[in-house]
Amino acid sequence: MFFPKDIKYHPEHTWVKIEGDIGIIGITDYAQDKLGEVLFVDLPEVGESISQGEVFGTVESGKVASDLYSPVSGEVIEINGELEENPEIINDSPYEKGWMIKVKIKDVAEIDKLLDYDEYANTIGS
């Protein structure tokens, strides 16, 4: 399993990459592996507000539907439209092409509450 070191992780297996005051959010390689083939993703609309630790959408596979927990609070400014037609991109590229949403981060201090690479690896026993 692959985990980038330059991003932060939520204990519920989502990640955020920080680019200035923008957060790019997706699910981890661990999460997509446990889900199996992703068949559908339900994401918020552009303009919606999301809150750290709260559900912002769901991802469905042949095995299960799973809630998506936001690693940061903010306003959704972009959705990865490719996932609507090709949700399996999440399985192939969870950290790059399979990103889910971009948000304008409301409170950068929330980033300090997230897990770094080593902490996340420890939570999943890697």
At 113-125, the pLDDT tens digits run 999 999 999 998 8
- Structural domain includes residue 119: no
User: Who contacts 120 (Cβ-Cβ below 8 Å, separation ≥6)?
Assistant: 3, 9, 11, 28
Number of domains into which the chain is organized: 1
- Structural domain includes residue 68: yes
- Structural domain includes residue 112: no
- Structural domain includes residue 121: no
CATH code, domain carrying 91:
2.40.50.100
Q: How far apart are CA 61 and CA 52, in angstroms?
A: 24
At 84-98, the pLDDT tens digits run 999 999 999 999 999
Which alpha helices (H) appear in the chain, and where do they start and end?
Answer: 29-35, 82-85, 89-92, 117-123
Q: How confident is the model at residue 126 (pLDDT cuts 50, 70, 90)?
A: low
Region 101-113: what's the mean pLDDT? 96
